[in-house]
Structure 1
């Protein structure tokens, strides 16, 4: 396991790069499928990383707590080297109710992760809808618990989502997420 901090090329106000990926719940999902929502939390995550696993409950909470938020998980990891990150395993987790995201998508080519500049799992990007596009509002961690065994004292992404949905400025500065490195297929 390589521990990394997130560091994206995207800046606040940048448009979300388009994607269309297979969904663990069936079919495919494109960025344009979420324009009924006021906000989109796109999180690069996986099934095997302890840092990502420690945030599943919080991600499920966010997905269920805000009707105007689409929470989309994207798993870009090399499933050959990390079988727990296979599309089949993703489908099993969705079917079992372990993952309750709006959508859990498989980025097998890793093109989407590269376009967003994702480097670790979890790596959250919060976007605000602007007409038919999404613009980056915050690229930051989910909460202040930076190790898998820690309990959060501050749920920063909840604060950001609530502000965004209320039409207010995001009340906090970006703090890099921390987690396992994305398992690139060409490394």
Structure 2
């Protein structure tokens, strides 16, 4: 009888440990590594269209920016993200922005507010809602902004850079290193990316309670 009780207790503990481990992984996704191909996705843009990597098969790559409305870091970078799209979309590396936050945490991050922000700021790139947060978790995004530079290889997109846009989120005029620009310029020149990862500086993504 005692042995049966012990075996049952061990089984219950094993289930609890597995459940806790799963929740931790869900809230702290590992995400893609440099050199890894991403899975396809399709998310709703502020104009109602569904957009994903399949829409960019004619491009050389993508600059994927996880961003949000409420975060002051994201707001500080909006003009710089616009400039990245202006400079590189014509060279085959357009920007795609994705809003991953749970809007119940900040009303400013709602889909309606996304549409308003995109209109007011005249975004020249798609601004997609990751309502299920599955894309952010697949990438391993943890901050807004958090940037991934992708290179197209056939019908796949592989990760070539992960991290910050540059080294000065507070002051655009004080930037010394432009990490995303460096990565894209290297790829356009047919060279490997010199700096493949940096630390993303911004607001923590607001995950839904699972």
Query: TM-score with structure 2 length normalisation?
Result: 0.80
CA distance in 2, matches of 1:148, 1:7: 27
Q: CA RMSD for the aligned pairs?
A: 1.9
User: Residues 68-94 of structure 1, C-alpha deviation per residue, up to 9 Å, x if partnerless?
Assistant: 112111001111221111111111122
Report 1 or 2 for greater relative contact order, CA contacts < 8 Å, sequence distance ≥ 6: 1
Bigger helix fraction: 2
- Change beyond 3 A, Cα 1:173–1:16: closer
Instruction: Report the more deviating stretch, 90-99 or 177-186.
Output: 90-99
Query: TM-score with structure 1 length normalisation?
Result: 0.89
Instruction: Report the more deviating stretch, 6-15 or 74-83.
Output: 6-15
8 Å CA contact 1:42–1:125 kept in 2: the answer is yes
State how 1:7-156 maps to structure 2 within 5 Å: 8-66=30-88, 67=90, 68-101=92-125, 103-145=126-168, 147-149=169-171, 151-156=174-179
- Structure 2: gaps (5+ residues): 1-27
User: Residues 112-135 of structure 1, C-alpha deviation per residue, up to 9 Å, x if partnerless?
Assistant: 111111111111011100011100
CA distance in 1, matches of 2:207, 2:104: 11
Instruction: Report the more deviating stretch, 149-158 or 16-25.
Output: 149-158
- Structure 1: gaps (5+ residues): 1-5
CA distance in 1, matches of 2:117, 2:31: 31
In the comparison of the two structures, how many residue pairs are matched? 180
